[in-house]
Amino acid sequence: MNAQPYLSISSEVGSALAAGRPVVALESTIITHGMPYPQNLSMAREVEDVVRASGAVPATIAIMDGRLCVGVSGDDLERLAQEGHKAAKASRRDMASLLARGVMAGTTVATTMQIAALAGIRIFATGGIGGVHRGAEDSFDISADLEELGRTPVAVVCAGAKSILDIAKTLEVLETNGVPVLGFGTDDFPAFWARTSGHKVDQRFDTADEIARMLAIQSDLGMGGVLIANPIPEVDAWEAAAIEGFIAQALADADAKGIKGKATTPFLLQRIFELTGGKSLTSNIALVKNNARVAAEIAVALAAQPAAPKA
């Protein structure tokens, strides 16, 4: 494999990686497809500020100008935010085609993990992972995020899986793929806007140092990714029953319009934004910033871990 000719790492991120300083990867479909402009640009800058304030270097990842870009900032970040839904939504299967065509694209969890691993970044903060869609027994709509977590050695900090998904089936697929699901200060797996889904995590850890030690061992053993579930702050959370009503309406609207495949999640998020009068977006931004903070704390702790003893 020779991905280096297609990889473009900013000088800030490159210097941090070379010096062994903590770096946190950030995805870009949340910018292009997760919320409207200019809120998406403000959110992206605020999330990067949270990472810096917690002692790490942010590395927003996207596909731009025929390159896998790690550390998108400045004018390029603004260009990405303005492109919005006109940009492609890149998963693993799309990468080579998008690079060949020079198409701008936001990177999903799966693609951000892949590019982060190529760059040598071990921690990634996102909002919520993709998963098994409701009705997948008929549609077979299962996010590539779940398989990527099983094979790519990057730890993903998220607020669980989006409430629009079938969370029970999502956790089953994660188990099948051998992905450890850790709870940061929680025994319950969160559901994005809600702090709990009614399902349990595999293991609970209460400090960044504890998780960093586990991640160091995971790496030493040559295993795949780890999912770190970090509940939305209580002040910004929704009651599960309240958000479920909006989700049901959004799902019905998607079905009526024939929305399927990778267009489903952006449509549902936008529809829920409309149904909640914008309040879902406020919660979304709050949970992303909270995840960025926790990811940066873990990245700092991981950078301080001693190297594994040589045999």
Q: Which residues are catalytic?
A: 27, 162
Nearest to 81 by CA among 115, 31, 46: 31
Amino acid at 112: T
Burial readout 226-241 (b: 16 or more C-beta within 10 A, e: otherwise): bbbbbbbeeebbbebe
Instruction: Determine the Cα–Cα distance for residues 155 and 179; give it in Å rounded to an integer.
Output: 10
β 67-70/7-9 pair status: parallel
- Cα–Cα dist 235/243, whole Å: 15
CA distance 256 to 248: 12
**C-alpha distances in angstroms, 30 versus 61, 112, 172?**
11, 11, 25
* Distance (Å, whole) CA 48 – CA 50: 5
